[in-house]
Structure 1
Amino acid sequence: MDFEKFRLRPFVQRLIEIGECEVCEEPVSLADLSAHIEATRPAKLFKKVGAGHYEVVAAVSGSRRRLAAAFGVDERDIAREYLRRLERPQRIVEVPSADAPVHQVIRTDSDIDLMRLPFHLQHELDGGPYISSALDFSVDPASGRNNVGLRRLMLRDRRTMRSHLYSPSHMKEFYKAAVERRKPLPVTFAIGCHPLGFLAATLRLAVDEFALLATVRGEPAPMVRGVTNGVLAPADAEITIEGCFDELGYREKEGPYGEFNGFYSGVLPDPVFHVTAITQRRDALFQTAYHGGRYLSWTDAGHLGSVNAELQIWKALRAASIEPTAVYSVPAAGGGPHARIALRRGAADQARRAITALFSVARLKHVFVVDDDIDVFSDEHVEWAMSTRFR
């Protein structure tokens, strides 16, 4: 099986080749890392971060061109390709630990030390240093249902972390049920993943979510069982952190976090995660997500949210028997609230029907419908149309 095709490191090299990623050879402290990330629009590969001289890449999903590269299509064809893949479900392939690149180095028991990983403050008022790019993999012990999500992991000490399980999610449901049974919930976090994994993790579909990772890739995905908790995770990831949320429930205050929309969350009670293993590739590349900041159109969250919103918009319009020529969810609005739709000229009420159909799409606030001679991806075209054609 090809463990390099959807590996993060070759994808970053591709971004460098197309001018979407800058390389920083100079040493950068963990305290200064976020300021460097926010200072430039391209993704950034840092070669020497912190005292451990970690290799860290940031904002790999922070532009439409980067996500187009992840799908291997033109920027305007992302949503169509995404829909095409979802119509062709794929499967996961379990591989043995000995074959999994992410198990090349395994640390358990007294070798576990989270301080070896580059946790860092990402916004001025964050409640503590954290990892922003962890995909979570869990299984509900009662139903067997699995879940893939996206989590931030706040450092607690060398062997424990906290994670925000307050917002609605499948893993929150799994955890609350586990607490009622007075049982811990095993979870594995994968750090250093291809952008398509982030898209899969932020979808909410009634399907096998482990297999959804493969479906978004467009081909079977290799997964490996945790060496201590037995939870499947991507075998081609850079790093995994295995363990469990304990059965004691929501017992410690966590936060605030800087959020994708440019505001801060509150301080909320969250559970404690106990680490039982850290595994990684020998040449692991650490990943940090550009979650939120002054320019939302530079962030991972803005573009991942936009592409997933476009997917929902296409589905809603097709359900109403409306076929758009183009759809664009504006990342500067935070990935979801603002949408532009291009339609061929047809029935007089077509634009109104499209807008009505889109009321079902979560988080959507403003919809702009234009004729198909207007490029919805161009601010110039849309502003011209709004100023000259809008009545």
Structure 2
Amino acid sequence: MAKMNDLRSALEFLKTKEGQYIESDVEVDPKAELSGVYRYVGAGGTVPRPTQEGPAMVFTNVRGHENARVAIGVLASRKRVGYLLNEKPENLGFLLNKAVENPIPPVVVDNAKAKCQEEVHYATEEGFDIRKLIPAPTNTEEDAGPYITMGLCYASDPETKESDITIHRLCLQSKDEISMYFVPGARHLGVFREKAEAAGKPLPISISIGVDPAIEIASCFEPPTTPLGYNELGAAGGIRGEAVELTSCLTIDEKCIANAEYVIEGELIPNARIREDVNSDSGKAMPEFPGYTGGAQPAIPVIKVKAVTTRKNPIMQSCIGPSEEHVSMAGIPTEASIISMVNRAMPGKLKNVYCASSGGGKYIAVLQFVKSVPSDEGRQRQAALLAFSAFSELKHVFLVDEDVDCFDIKDVMWAMTTRFQADVDMIPIPGVRCHPLDPSNDPANSPSIRDHGIACKAIFDCTVPFAEKDRFHRSKFKELDPSHWVPELFK
């Protein structure tokens, strides 16, 4: 297994795997064109059809950005994430759960060893402009502007000094300003920003772009699995079996990822707000994971940029919000969180979990549950309630038996068709806070919804009642090795 601890080594590794990497030297416009191309090549997820699961792609000729490359779709396949994390795709949730429970804290290295600072651009320099330095794509022609979609935001609690890393929606608004969208109540950095603002002080923040995929996946854990004070970089270290290396920023009192391709150093300015679409007036922000373009926020926090540092010939990394890449980043940590929560309450009953592509990795979870004794009947629904507790943004939980492949939605729908009766097997849970980016979570959609972002969550119990199991045996085909007959299909 090749050693991977940065984006470049990950891309080099993917080149050795058939069908997992492609690049183009044809000039591409980062405004709408780049993401438009990848929609067809390999976005998947909830983007409009036609799309497909395809390779990671690197554009080597980006209009207006000489010597820069843009990588997209690195994590837009569960199979590819398995390659990158050296684990079978179906076991990724268990891998991440183990990493959270056995973290390896990050370490700090000298600036001289930090590859992310091979080139330095200070905001005080004449002609400094983040829009020219950073080839951030504008995903559609409606977008508010160019967005950093894979920026690892690192900041620290002003009081406790505990640090955290998360990914946020970041729009390049001017030569030295970036808007930063916080989903209400969903991120630790929001707590840090509020504390700093209450004290009238700026919050130092670094944004690392183009890093080890293990860091990108681990950064998407959320409470209660990683409570306030838990630095997800420790989980990334647990995945790799070695500590993530940080280094000190050059213009702010904060750390950044030492081998990132790009690092933006800046400060969240207290009481400063900006209209997200101030440059476009489109009323739109960018495509988000549910498959719709998010509305532009009227007033969101502002980062004042102090410097941009890069590796030589840096690789910008981006993703399409509704793509399978978001499913990997958000869904696999959620699977790990559900595994942890359910296994503590009822060990051995949960066989696996899949946070499905159709829910963007956040809204849908399929739980594969084992009923082995009569008293297990009903525990499957308790497991569903625990899943909602493990990840508050879940909207629908599907329960299936161990003979149903939870990763195959066709098989899940088969179970729903032949083992589910809506009058007794659907359990609605109205009036629960969910996620504001689902447009149906709004009073306009139902009189039962009191506020935008509240949903009627639901459990769909597609399991066979324990006492009826003898009536629901699937047809028993002979178990054999098909490679004897068609080796080219089963390598």
TM-score if structure 1 supplies the norm length? Answer: 0.91
Query: Aligned AA for 2:7?
Result: L
After TM superposition, the structure 1 stretch with the greater mean CA deviation from structure 2, 258-267 or 221-230, is 258-267
**Counterpart in the other structure of 2:290:** 261
CA contact (8 A) 1:301 1:335 kept: yes
- In structure 1, how many angstroms separate the alpha carbons of the residues matched to 2:416 and 2:302? 51
SS at match of 2:333: helix
Q: CA deviation at 1:69?
A: 1.8
Query: Aligned AA for 2:316?
Result: F
Q: CA deviation at 1:90?
A: 0.5
CA contact (8 A) 2:99 2:235 kept: no
Q: CA deviation at 1:116?
A: 2.2
Q: Alignment RMSD, CA only?
A: 2.0
Q: CA deviation at 1:184?
A: 1.2
**Counterpart in the other structure of 1:194:** 212
Query: Aligned AA for 2:327?
Result: G
Query: Aligned AA for 1:51?
Result: G
1:78 paired with 2:103, answer no
Query: Aligned AA for 1:37?
Result: Y
Cα 1:332–1:15 change in 2 (3 A) is: farther
Task: Please identify runs of 4+ aligned residues in structure 1 that moved more than 4 A.
Answer: none
Query: Aligned AA for 2:193?
Result: Y
**Counterpart in the other structure of 1:100:** 114
**Counterpart in the other structure of 2:129:** 113
- In structure 2, how many angstroms separate the alpha carbons of the residues matched to 1:121 and 1:362? 30
**Counterpart in the other structure of 1:273:** 303
After TM superposition, the structure 1 stretch with the greater mean CA deviation from structure 2, 275-284 or 116-125, is 116-125
Map 1:60-71 to 2 at 5 A: 60-71=74-85
Q: CA deviation at 1:96?
A: 0.5
After TM superposition, the structure 1 stretch with the greater mean CA deviation from structure 2, 191-200 or 374-383, is 374-383
- In structure 2, how many angstroms separate the alpha carbons of the residues matched to 1:272 and 1:380? 44
**Counterpart in the other structure of 1:24:** 24
- In structure 1, how many angstroms separate the alpha carbons of the residues matched to 2:168 and 2:401? 40
SS at match of 1:30: coil
- In structure 2, how many angstroms separate the alpha carbons of the residues matched to 1:366 and 1:243? 39
- Aligned partner (choices 225, 232, 241) of residue 218 of structure 1: 241
CA contact (8 A) 1:166 1:270 kept: no
Q: Between Structure 1 and Structure 2, whose CA radius of gyration is higher? A: 2
CA contact (8 A) 1:154 1:161 kept: yes
SS at match of 1:6: coil
CA contact (8 A) 1:132 1:152 kept: yes
Query: Aligned AA for 1:240?
Result: V
After TM superposition, the structure 1 stretch with the greater mean CA deviation from structure 2, 63-72 or 233-242, is 63-72
SS at match of 2:259: coil
CA contact (8 A) 1:62 1:290 kept: no
- Aligned partner (choices 182, 204, 213) of residue 165 of structure 1: 182
- In structure 2, how many angstroms separate the alpha carbons of the residues matched to 1:208 and 1:379? 34
Q: CA deviation at 1:344?
A: 3.0
TM-score if structure 2 supplies the norm length? Answer: 0.73
Question: Structure with the greater relative contact order (CA < 8 A, sep ≥ 6): 1 or 2?
Answer: 1
CA contact (8 A) 2:30 2:63 kept: yes
Q: How many residues align?
A: 382
**Counterpart in the other structure of 1:295:** none
**Counterpart in the other structure of 1:320:** 345
Query: Aligned AA for 1:243?
Result: G
Unaligned stretches of 5+ in structure 2? 43-53, 278-283, 422-491
**Counterpart in the other structure of 2:438:** none
Q: CA deviation at 1:166?
A: 5.3
SS at match of 1:279: strand
